[in-house]
Amino acid sequence: MQCRREIGMVLMALGSLLVARGLHAEEWESLVGKTLDEHWTTEGAWVLQEDGVIHLPTQEYKHWRNYRNYLVLKDRKMADFEIEFEWRAENNSGLYFHIPDLAKVDERRHVEVQIFENSKWPKAKPLGDHAAGGVIPGHPPTSDACRPVPEWNTFRIRCVGNQLTVTLNDTVVNQVDLSQGPSAKRATSGGFAFQDHGYALWLRNIRLRNLDRDAKALAPNP
């Protein structure tokens, strides 16, 4: 009991210190504006609908190599972050993060959280890193938490100190140490983009907060 009380006092003191120094996490920032180009840039067919949904219609191609058609977030680069959004997918897409150079997405130095309509996943095949909530490269989700079509799904993706947690519809489906395994070769800071894989995708209520300052505040002094 005494130990719990002491831990509580330490946490309260730390919280007060961060607030006093102005090092608390930034507030959530909505990434859906009055126009698509308020926050995003793309040469693709993405549109912002009147209901606030960002929609990519089905394309003739079905691959991920048309990087110029990706939906790229403007002027936001960070190592530690939390992003939340709702989505519906015809098939395959993904959220790229830690893109070191937004003009060179094709260098593929980013990490990706997979967006996928899991009803299309082969029933006899174990979930792989390309199933919804998978982390590419190399980390399949621990469970299928997708809602039935045509319901909306919600992702909350949090990365602090290389520790990535992916929550799908209030279920944690992936926890990854990005400093280990295949992802250790990828960038540790950068921007964001949604993939154009040629399949229809719907996004809404996208919001982001930068947690970099929290991580710096908690890091030991050199």
Sequential pLDDT tens for the chain (222 residues): 444 444 443 344 444 333 333 344 579 999 999 999 999 999 999 999 999 999 999 999 888 889 999 999 999 999 999 999 999 999 999 999 999 999 999 999 999 999 999 999 998 899 999 999 999 999 999 999 999 889 999 999 999 999 999 999 999 999 999 999 999 999 999 999 999 999 999 999 999 999 997 544 444 443
| HSE-CB of 195 using CA atoms within 13 angstroms | 26
Please report where in the chains the tokens 């992916």 appear, as a residue. Answer: 166
- Report d(CA 134, CA 175) in Å as an integer: 10
Give which of 121, 150, 125 is closest to 133, Cα–Cα: 121
Greatest pairwise CA separation for the chain in angstroms: 65
Task: Provide the pLDDT for residue 26.
Answer: 79
Task: Provide the pLDDT for residue 65.
Answer: 86
DSSP 28: P
Task: Provide the pLDDT for residue 3.
Answer: 47
- Please name each of the domains of the chain with its CATH number: 28-218 (2.60.120.560)
Torsional class of 85: left (φ above 0), alpha (ψ -120 to 50), beta (otherwise): beta
Task: Provide the pLDDT for residue 116.
Answer: 96
In this structure, are residues 107 and 196 in contact, taking their beta carbons and an 8 Å threshold? no
Task: Provide the pLDDT for residue 71.
Answer: 98
Please report where in the chains the tokens 């908690």 appear, as a residue. Answer: 218
Please report where in the chains the tokens 């991920």 appear, as a residue. Answer: 64
Task: Provide the pLDDT for residue 214.
Answer: 56
Task: Provide the pLDDT for residue 24.
Answer: 47
